[in-house]
């Protein structure tokens, strides 16, 4: 876990650097505002439902899930409300293609910026579940020990998936910006060919 934590910290730092060094543009902040509203009210509804269920059933897991959902949803809403913090800027003369690229880039940057809170919430919840499973193994009868052991194994799988979140974020960063560079090169190729052809034509007229 110590090695994974160190690796995750380094990878998340690289993703954060990619966010700050690459600016993207939107014609307006309508999309981030809509995402903020949906995330805000969706978080309130989900947390309220989880709390109601936890009180009805008497489950501590649901209450902790409500706390995790509140933290994650609140963080996503705050990031959506301040897109300038992730270098998503407005440009009034933004063209349709640039606006579409800016929208996709905003979604990618939103995930990259929120990857640390996803990572922390998943690790904390998985660690709690693993500790609860370990305590249950010590308390339950031998007949139920196999079931609790299976639960512990599933929790370990959740922890492994949670530790891979920084790797997903870093891989998404590389693939997305690499695809943008490839698309930009393909789109700009006709203009470059026209410029070369015009330069060759002018050179031939000068020689003649």
pLDDT per residue as tens digits for the range 77-121:
998 988 888 888 888 777 777 777 788 888 888 888 888 888 888
Q: What is the mean pLDDT of residues 172-195?
A: 71
Give pLDDT, residue 197. Answer: 65
Q: How far apart are CA 42 and CA 157, in angstroms?
A: 28
Q: How many CB atoms lie within 10 A of CB 191?
A: 9
Give pLDDT, residue 107. Answer: 87
What are the φ and ψ backbone dihedral angles of 134, each rounded to 5 degrees? -65, -40
Give pLDDT, residue 36. Answer: 93
Given a contact cutoff of 8 angstroms between Cβ atoms, the answer to whether 130 and 184 are in contact is no
Q: What is the mean pLDDT of residues 140-153?
A: 64
Given a contact cutoff of 8 angstroms between Cβ atoms, the answer to whether 47 and 62 are in contact is no
Q: How far apart are CA 205 and CA 7, in angstroms?
A: 61
Give pLDDT, residue 207. Answer: 60
Question: In the structure, what pLDDT confidence band is assigned to residue 23 with cuts at 50, 70 and 90?
Answer: confident
pLDDT per residue as tens digits for the range 31-50:
889 999 999 999 999 999 98
Q: What is the mean pLDDT of residues 158-185?
A: 78
Question: In the structure, what pLDDT confidence band is assigned to residue 28 with cuts at 50, 70 and 90?
Answer: confident
Q: Whose structure tokens read 């393909």?
A: 186
Greatest mean pLDDT among 77-91, 145-159, 193-207:
77-91
Give pLDDT, residue 45. Answer: 93
Query: What ranges in 28-95 are assigned the alpha helix state H?
Result: 30-57, 60-81
Query: What average pLDDT is seen over the chain?
Result: 78
Q: 145 versus 64: which is more confidently predicted?
A: 64
Give pLDDT, residue 39. Answer: 93
Question: In the structure, what pLDDT confidence band is assigned to residue 140 with cuts at 50, 70 and 90?
Answer: low
Three-state secondary-structure class, residue 169: helix
Given a contact cutoff of 8 angstroms between Cβ atoms, the answer to whether 148 and 129 are in contact is no
Q: Distance of CA 27 to CAs 62, 137, 181, 188, Å? A: 41, 57, 21, 22
HSE value, Cβ hemisphere, 13 Å, CA-based, for 173 = 24
- The DSSP symbol for 90 reads E
- Cβ-in-10-Å burial (0-12, 13-18, 19+) of 107 comes to middle
Q: How many CB atoms lie within 10 A of CB 23?
A: 14
Question: In the structure, what pLDDT confidence band is assigned to residue 8 with cuts at 50, 70 and 90?
Answer: confident
Q: How far apart are CA 114 and CA 10, in angstroms?
A: 15
Q: How far apart are CA 114 and CA 116, in angstroms?
A: 6
């Amino acid at each position: 876990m110590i090695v994974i934590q160190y690796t995750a910290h380094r990878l998340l730092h690289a993703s954060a650097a990619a966010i700050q060094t690459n600016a993207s543009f939107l014609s307006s902040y309508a999309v981030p505002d809509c995402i903020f509203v949906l995330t805000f009210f969706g978080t309130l509804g989900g947390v309220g439902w989880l709390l109601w269920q936890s009180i009805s059933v008497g489950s501590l897991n649901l209450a902790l899930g409500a706390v995790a959902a509140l933290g994650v949803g609140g963080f996503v809403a705050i990031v959506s409300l301040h897109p300038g913090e992730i270098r998503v800027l407005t440009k009034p003369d933004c063209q349709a293609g640039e606006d579409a690229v800016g929208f996709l880039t905003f979604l990618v940057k939103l995930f990259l910026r929120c990857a640390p809170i996803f990572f922390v919430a998943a690790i904390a919840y998985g660690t709690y579940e693993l500790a609860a499973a370990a305590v249950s193994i010590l308390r339950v009868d031998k007949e139920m020990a196999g079931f609790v052991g299976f639960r512990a194994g599933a929790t370990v799988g959740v922890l492994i998936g949670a530790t891979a979140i920084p790797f997903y974020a870093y891989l998404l960063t590389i693939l997305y910006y690499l695809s943008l560079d490839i698309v930009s090169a393909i789109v700009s190729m006709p203009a470059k060919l026209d410029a070369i052809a015009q330069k060759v034509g002018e050179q031939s007229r000068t020689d003649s």
